[in-house]
Amino acid sequence: MRTAVCVKERTVDTAGFTAEWMAVEWIDAKTAFAETEFPDECLQKKRKGMEMRIRHFIGGIVAVLIAFIFTGVLVYRTIRSDQVIEASNMARSQNVANEKDLTGGAGTAMVSMVQSYFHDYINMDLEEGGILWSSGEEQKTYKSLRSAKPLKLDENIVVLNSKPEYFLVRLMIYDESGNFLTFREFSKPLTKSSVNSEANYRFVILPKEGAEKNWNAKAASGSVKVGYYSSFNKQILEPQEGELTLAHMGYGQYDAFHANTLEAFHWAWVLGYAGSELDVNRASDGTPIITHDAKVKSYDGKEYDLSKMTYEEIKKIRLWKDDTIIPTLWDVLDDAEKTGYAVLLDIKAYLTDENMKKFADRVNKSEFLTKNVTVGSVHGGILQSFRNEVPKCNVLFIGSDAPSLEDLKKKEDDNYKALRKLVKEKDAATMLCISPEKAENLEYVKQVKKLGYKIVMDHVKSPALIKEYMPECAYFCSENVGTYAMIKRKF
């Protein structure tokens, strides 16, 4: 009698590897009983083999799911990269006081703070695609964003770019009929631009040269914001009590705004300064004008001597490509009182008797201006003349970087004689401008204060010196404009 049985076979290859499998053969029943396994046992082994294959299959699925989850985490981190970079910018703004030189790194950090504080921005209506700079025609590309349709802009704009190392902004300009005219390009963290309300505009955000591989549309749209100039009407940081922080000639880092202009003074206030230091010169008709030098050169190379021009003539010249004009002292006083910022007037040229009287009337009648206007000069006699007209006028002597204690006490020249007289008048402060890098030590500053003077810290880049001298100083006036708001976050 023959029967079907499940036979276990084994082979050994030349490498010594052993393989086993089951085979069904027809053999003699007695032999099968003695030497082989019954069909039930064969089926059990097949079932076990099937179970093993199922386990392997499930294990493969689990491995795929784990890989999918890991990939998802990486994608999520990539999507979040723009927020991580913004957080990094904020952290950098808090730690800028650790830098050796304050002239760099603060611009983009400030822009990040402005973007996180203000929320009233122009809707650029961005979509994927580009616009050719030469013709204004649309271009198919996934490495660029553009305004989906022409926009109308009602007033001057401010372009904020927190990642200028990665992204470039262009403003494409068309006439009312849609004909392409020209374009403007913005590559800095902060730029002001004038607009024509009758024109049509489209924005383009594209990768900066060399940064094409890092293009990220979401990061680009989150990094670039555009707002109307008038919408920036609050301070992102409030000045600390007991300190008067001044931006040198207003905020002009990256040439965002022209130095010694109303826009520069206003933006310094927005960034958290209490006010600005500014320079007062004089036009030929006696009008006090705000400019560091009387002789200036325009953007197209023309030279002007403002001291030989009337203010009406000065208003007609174009020193810059936009429509910014040199303001008068009266413009600044009006804007300071309206906005709420302090001013330090560095008097470069005497005021006429008529204008000195006008200045005194303007300041004496305003409680805000009386408290927030300080007059500075290298001449003690000029300071005395202002104090005579405005008894509560704070004055600042901008002479030696660190006058000796002996000179302050005894030196017999007109400047030091005037200072010794001014410091005795207690209705207003008499201040000295001191550079920590030129001062002997902190004890010297304390001795100067004992003589009755308040201290203005100036001409300083070192965060360590700022931190050391700040408790003894009433003012901080930095040539490196746009840095103090960062530093005070650290302190």
CA atoms in the 13 A half-sphere facing the CB of 38: 3
Pair 226, 264 in one domain = no
192 and 254 inside one domain: no
Q: Who wins on pLDDT, 116 or 144?
A: 144
Residue 166's pLDDT band (cuts 50, 70, 90): very high
> Do 137 and 286 fall within a single domain?
no
Quick one: average pLDDT of 38-64? 67
pLDDT tier at 31, thresholds 50, 70, 90 = very low
- Within a domain: residue 367? yes
Three-state SS at 131: strand
Distance (Å, whole) CA 428 – CA 439: 25
Question: pLDDT (tens digit, 9 = 90+) per residue, 407-427?
Answer: 999 999 999 999 999 999 999
**Looking at the predicted structure, is the pLDDT value of residue 39 above 60?**
no
pLDDT of residue 474: 78
Distance CA 332, CA 289 (A): 10
Strongest mean pLDDT among 53-67, 161-175, 234-248: 161-175
Supply angle C-alpha 52, 54, 60, rounded to 5: 105
Considering the domain boundaries, does residue 425 fall inside one? yes
Q: The domain containing residue 381 runs over which residues?
A: 244-490
* Residue 285 confidence (pLDDT) above 70: yes
Q: Does residue 409 fall inside a structural domain? A: yes
Continuous H helices in 81-233 = 81-95, 106-117, 217-223
Q: In angstroms, rounded to a whole number, what is the distance separating the alpha carbons of residues 40 and 17?
A: 29
Most confidently modeled range among 12-16, 229-233, 287-291, 424-428: 287-291
Residue 178 backbone zone (phi > 0: left; psi -120 to 50: alpha; other: beta):
left
The pLDDT > 90 percentage for the chain reads: 59
Quick one: pLDDT band at residue 300, thresholds 50, 70, 90? very high
pLDDT score of 490: 46
Q: Do the domain assignments include residue 350? A: yes
Question: Quick check: 241 pLDDT over 50?
Answer: yes
Task: List pLDDT tens digits, range 431-458.
Answer: 999 888 888 889 999 999 999 999 998 8
Of 210, 231, 252, which one is at a domain's C-terminal end? Answer: 231
Q: What is the mean pLDDT of residues 331-338?
A: 97
Are 346 and 256 within one domain?
A: yes
Nearest Cα to Cα of residue 457 among 477, 427, 429, 479: 477
Residues 226, 159: contact at Cβ < 8 Å?
yes
Would you say residue 223 lies in a domain?
yes
The answer, yes or no, to whether residue 197 has pLDDT greater than 60, is yes
User: What per-residue confidence (pLDDT) applies to 43?
Assistant: 59
Place of tokens 């963290």: 189
The answer to which of 38-52, 225-239, 285-299 has the lowest mean pLDDT is: 38-52
Please indicate, yes or no, if residue 351 is contained in any of the structural domains.
yes
Residues 326, 371 share a domain? yes
Say which residue, 312 or 96, is predicted with more confidence: 312
**473 and 331 within one domain:** yes
Q: Are residues 451 and 365 in the same domain?
A: yes
> Do 287 and 215 share a structural domain?
no
Query: Torsion over CA of 168, 236, 90 and 81, rounded to 10 degrees?
Result: -50
The CA-atom distances, in angstroms, between 178 and each of 134, 152, 173, 199 are 15, 12, 9, 9
Give CA–CA dist 302/428, Å, rounded: 43
| Model pLDDT, residue 236 | 86
Q: Taking 90 as the threshold, does the pLDDT of residue 54 lie above it?
A: no
- The residue out of 231, 255, 287 marking a domain boundary is 231
- How many separate domains does the chain show? 2
Judge if 302 and 450 occupy the same domain.
Answer: yes
Q: Are residues 330 and 474 in the same domain?
A: yes
Q: Which helix (H) or strand (E) holds 246?
A: strand 244-248
What's residue 84's pLDDT? 34
Same domain as 226, residue 261: no
Q: Is the pLDDT of residue 78 over 90?
A: no
- 258 domain-assigned: yes
Residue 59, pLDDT above cutoff 80: no
Residues 295 and 169 grouped into a single domain:
no
Mean of pLDDT over the chain: 82
Phi, psi for 187 (deg, rounded to 5)? -120, 0
Tell me, yes or no, whether 104 lies in a domain. no
pLDDT at 247 over 70: yes
**High-pLDDT (> 70) share of the chain, %:** 78
Structural tokens at position 249: 């000639």
Q: 82 vs 241, which has greater pLDDT?
A: 241
Q: What is the pLDDT of residue 82?
A: 39
Q: What is the pLDDT confidence band of residue 399, given thresholds at 50, 70 and 90?
A: confident
pLDDT confidence tier of residue 472, bands split at 50, 70 and 90: confident
**Which residue, 163, 197, 231, sits at the end of a domain?**
231
pLDDT reported for residue 86: 35
For the domain that residue 373 is a member of, what is the CATH number?
A: 3.20.20.190
